[in-house]
Structure 1
Amino acid sequence: MLLEMLEIFDEETNLGKLYISYPMVESIKHFSKTLDFKNLKVEAKENIKYKKMVSEESDSIYQQYSKYTFEIWKLLLITHLSKMNYIVTDNFTLPKKSFSQRVIFLNQKEKYIDKDSNVSVLSGFPVFMFDYFGFTKVSNIIGC
């Protein structure tokens, strides 16, 4: 069903484009200096009370979106985009190109969901920014 939705909602000028945050929107703030974000994954098929987990594991500066500074957004953009690249290519570096939501999902499914019932934590917000602005503009914004 999700794969069908990703195929239907795959282009912003037609029916719209669906972006997925794994496992949910709080993934953008699931960040801490003590977490290994590259390898951060969570159970996908059980109720893990993810919002509570995020509030307990994340550093306090990441808890409220409205208090994010430019530096915090920059760090989260770089980290989540590097994670997107890692999920698809096994390279934890800032990608030069974007990947479709379908490709990201299929890699999540193959490498995590089917393998050990987990998902690799990834926010759809940085992926949207990268799709919308492209590599050059995002690189200029974040200073890479």
Structure 2
Amino acid sequence: MIRINHRISLDEKELSFSFIRASGPGGQNVNKVSTAVQLRFDVRHSPSLPEPVRQRLEKLAGRRLTQDGVLVLTAQQHRSQDRNREEALIRLADLIRAAAVAPKVRRSTKPTRASQQRRLEGKSKRGSIKRLRGSRAELD
């Protein structure tokens, strides 16, 4: 079990890992050893995720989500398979934690009467300053 927070835990059977060759530096090692990790997690069919979290996760995933609803994370920063696997799991957990936070409901408010008056007074002061810049004929 992979613990995300106090309410969400993922079963390791829901995750699938495939190992591919990494790009970038690494010398001959990069051409011989498959150290990069592709983690796949089926978001749409996961029994571990509550529905609101699933919907937010699909939005957060963006291009990393396939049309079938499978989240694909690739980790290739480290030179060892184990560290890349850990990196992919950490990134998945962070993504799910971010999706688990419900957005605050925005309540529309009105500006106070005092703030409206301050705004109008500021505008009239500014207008009078600009009026002083005009020619003498405009002042009369």
Provide TM-score, normalisation by structure 2.
Answer: 0.22
Provide TM-score, normalisation by structure 1.
Answer: 0.21
Which structure is higher in RCO with an 8 Å CA cutoff and minimum separation 6?
A: 1
Task: Find the structure with the greater CA-based Rg.
Answer: 2
